[in-house]
Amino acid sequence: MSTVVFPVVKPTSTFASIFARTINVNYFHVYFPYFRLIFGVAVDLLGNFFKVKVVSSSFYNTTSTENKPKVIHRVFLLPSGIIKSMVTKRQKQILDFIRKFIAKNDYSPTLEEIKDHFGLSSVATIHEHLQKLKESGHLNRPENQPRSINIVGHETMVKIPLLGTIAAGQPIEAIEVPETITIPTGKFGEYSNYYALRVEGNSMIDDGIYDGDVVVIRKQPTAENGQTVVAIVNDNEATLKKIYREKNGFRLQPANPTLFPIYTKELEIRGIVVRIIRNLERQTEGEKAADRKLQRRVDFSWDFNGAKTKPYTHGLHTYPAMFIPQVARRLLLTYSKKGDTVCDIFCGSGTALVESRLLGRNSYGIDLNPLAIFLAKTKIKPINPKILWREYLKLLSRVKEIKNNEIKKPKFKNLEFWFKDKTITELAKIKKAIKEVKNKDVQNFLLVAFSEIVRKASNTKNGEFKLVRMKSDDLEKYNPNVLEIFKKRVEMSIKGMEEYHKDVDRNTLAKAIYGDSSKDNGIKENSIDCIVTSPPYGDSRTTVAYGQFSRLSAQWIDIFDDPDSAPGVDNELLGGRASKTLVHSLSSEYLNGALEQIAKKDEARAKDVLSFYIGLNACLKQAYRILKPGKHFCLVIGNRLVKQVRIPTDFIIAELGEKIGFTCEDIFVRNIPGKRMPIKTSPTNIVGELEDTMTKESVVVLRKTRRASYIS
């Protein structure tokens, strides 16, 4: 037999105090079948008479041996006047929202979701309201537990089967080990349609599902895109992931930016997650991050899936891992204002600079790739489209007049290996005609278009950033019409310039600087209002090969005095030269952990990785020097995979930045739906050894708070 206790908060009468006694409910229920109905009516009448608020909850009698669930009630008598005085209009709105949210989703909202619903700027305000509602007895909210808000009310507890373990990571063999677990029914309905699984792994931590938690599953064979499902793949392997339908099958997406999705043509859905039961005894990966004040949040509003990423002059030239303009624009709008001076310390081909001029910001861009700086300078320079069309038509006529004996072929190593003789001749004619254009800005504009077609007309494989020659059979069939490719590129570029010329703020200034961001590039201390940048994800020799991508174009358009020096670009970029040892002074526990894991597999690769972060740290110090106090530094970065070890670059940047004098204000994760990057990379350059690249990236927001005493 079980009991129910009636505690009274500040009772308004002696009778109410006497009423708050322990009563054996089961005794009355057994001998008086209508006891509960009579008891409930009596409590309501007494509540009205003594002006008290009746709030009830219930729990399941776990000691019962009967097949039928047995319900036990618990009643609280609270002075109704106190309740009413504690609930403001806004608190009632929040309470109603939480109640409706739980009814719809079968789990509670996060503070971020409540904040966004009411259009508030800070979760601190929501936290304050929730604390008041908790104090007034309207809800329960355990500390430091995501999605753990519970509305105080009447709930019934039932037993459902606990069928074993589900992988929130790599799929594991589906083995059902029948146990039972007691849960509140909430809005579940018929509880025979539900079962529970214990979670193993951390692939769903950004959805608040941690290793050791229990998830309640509603049995159903179908699911909507974005729902978290129990999926069976490879005949009998079970995994817990978000499901999305793709053209050729399904994508099972983890809620952890350090992990990759699973792609499969066939799967079986065993149900969807409707409730999470937290395991408080095990510290999870997410909780460890919280202990260290570093957490990621997922924000799908930054994906910009399907957005046009090549408006204005952004489409003049392809560039590896380009910073999409929508992300740059939103960061600029959020953390700077019109008239500010912005800097991109890894400007690449100039995306942030173009967006800055369109938004009325002055800007500096710095990069160590000479081709990138040439592209950026051209993209930020508005040119009258009428002049471009006139010069372009004259150029086409001139190309047709140039004879083979009038051209001068470039001289660099392996020219004939990368280009067919006919292609070399046609490219040389176009280049000669461009060099004859007297207007330097127009000439540069046409050279950018020419640079783009050099790679398209070469013998390199399509879709590769590293220089890889076509297979013999493909090369034999490949005969590009160079002039037609050039015409299409120029005409598309002029249309982009028309947009840019119309919308650019001519009161702004933009400057692209060829330089090393870890050094002083002539930008004054405390002069920049906002830094927005997307650093390389790792050293270019083993990740995105910026130098190799740029090499043929740079050699054809005379970027270098010595064309054969072009292959050395990658060695000069961030992390281009490996560290001699693994001894370092960088203050990052996350970096140390990653280096230790990589070094166990390949010490040389660990040294490559360390070199990159040593260089990046020096760049962070220079960024601190030029940024004004109190201003923001936004970095869009990917957490790369090395030797199957995921390196949390976002957390590493946060740790390094805090040592320098920044405060980490936010880290959120976005999907990369259209970023120009290879699906696989070959970091060792050994045939067959491939690693996945990133499908997500993190945005780290730092703020300069104090002056560092050791920056040189």
CB-based burial label for 432 (10 Å; 0-12, 13-18, 19+)? middle
C-alpha pair distances (Å), 465 with each of 182, 347, 548, 549, 597: 55, 18, 7, 5, 28
Helix-, strand-, coil-residue percentages of the chain, each rounded to 5: 40, 20, 40
pLDDT in tens, 158-180: 678 888 777 665 554 444 445 77
Asked if residue 5 belongs to a domain, the reply is no
| Lowest mean pLDDT, pick from 243-252, 531-540, 597-606, 608-617 | 531-540
Backbone angles phi, psi at 232, to 5 degrees: -105, 120
Q: Which helix (H) or strand (E) holds 703?
A: strand 696-704
User: What is the C-alpha separation between 705 and 446, in angstroms, rounded?
Assistant: 45
> Does one domain contain both 577 and 532?
yes
Enumerate the H helices of 20-79 as residue ranges: 25-31, 35-49
Asked if residue 203 belongs to a domain, the reply is yes
User: What is the C-alpha separation between 522 and 513, in angstroms, rounded?
Assistant: 9
> Does one domain contain both 429 and 524?
no
DSSP label of 445: H
Of 291, 315, 349, the last residue of a domain is: 291
Both tokens assigned to 327: 């992300």
Both tokens assigned to 219: 């049995």
Record the pTM. Answer: 0.61
Asked if residue 1 belongs to a domain, the reply is no
C-alpha pair distances (Å), 356 with each of 369, 527, 547, 704: 21, 16, 26, 21
User: What is the C-alpha separation between 111 and 130, in angstroms, rounded?
Assistant: 9
Locus of tokens 């005379």: 558
> Does one domain contain both 535 and 683?
yes
> Does one domain contain both 493 and 514?
no
Both tokens assigned to 267: 């799967």
Of 84, 118, 137, the last residue of a domain is: 84
Asked if residue 450 belongs to a domain, the reply is yes
DSSP label of 662: E
Structure confidence at residue 4 as a pLDDT band (50, 70, 90) = very low
DSSP 3-state of 534? coil
Catalytic residue among 241, 242, 377, 429: 241
Catalytic residue among 203, 349, 458, 579: 203
pLDDT in tens, 91-101: 888 888 988 88
**Structural domain containing residue 207:** 157-291
Backbone angles phi, psi at 76, to 5 degrees: -115, 135
Domain at 335, CATH number:
3.40.50.150
> Does one domain contain both 273 and 308?
no
Mean pLDDT across the chain: 78
Give 485 or 323, the one with higher predicted confidence.
Answer: 485
Query: Is 301 a catalytic site residue?
Result: no
- Nearest to residue 653, comparing CAs of 677, 634, 672, 671? 634
Beta bridge partners of 669: 298, 698
> Does one domain contain both 301 and 402?
no
Structure confidence at residue 503 as a pLDDT band (50, 70, 90) = very high
| Lowest mean pLDDT, pick from 175-189, 339-353, 687-701 | 175-189
Locus of tokens 């909507």: 224
Asked if residue 207 belongs to a domain, the reply is yes
> Does one domain contain both 326 and 392?
no
Backbone angles phi, psi at 361, to 5 degrees: -110, 145
Of 151, 171, 194, the last residue of a domain is: 151
C-alpha pair distances (Å), 21 with each of 34, 41, 310: 21, 18, 72
> Does one domain contain both 661 and 530?
yes
- Nearest to residue 704, comparing CAs of 534, 587, 585, 531? 531
Dmax (CA) of the chain: 113
- In the chain, the percentage of residues whose pLDDT exceeds 90 is 40
Query: Is 241 a catalytic site residue?
Result: yes
**Which amino acid, residue 295?**
Q
DSSP 3-state of 641? strand
Structure confidence at residue 551 as a pLDDT band (50, 70, 90) = confident
77-83 mean pLDDT: 39
> Does one domain contain both 666 and 592?
yes
CB-based burial label for 691 (10 Å; 0-12, 13-18, 19+)? middle
Residue 185, Cβ neighbours under 10 Å: how many?
16
Count of structural domains, the chain: 5
> Does one domain contain both 273 and 175?
yes
pLDDT in tens, 196-236: 888 887 788 878 888 888 888 999 999 999 999 999 987 77
- Nearest to residue 52, comparing CAs of 21, 9, 22, 23? 9
pLDDT of residue 421: 92
304-329 mean pLDDT: 89
420-434 mean pLDDT: 94
| Contacts (Cβ under 8 Å, ≥6 apart) of 34 | none
Asked if residue 73 belongs to a domain, the reply is yes
440-461 mean pLDDT: 93
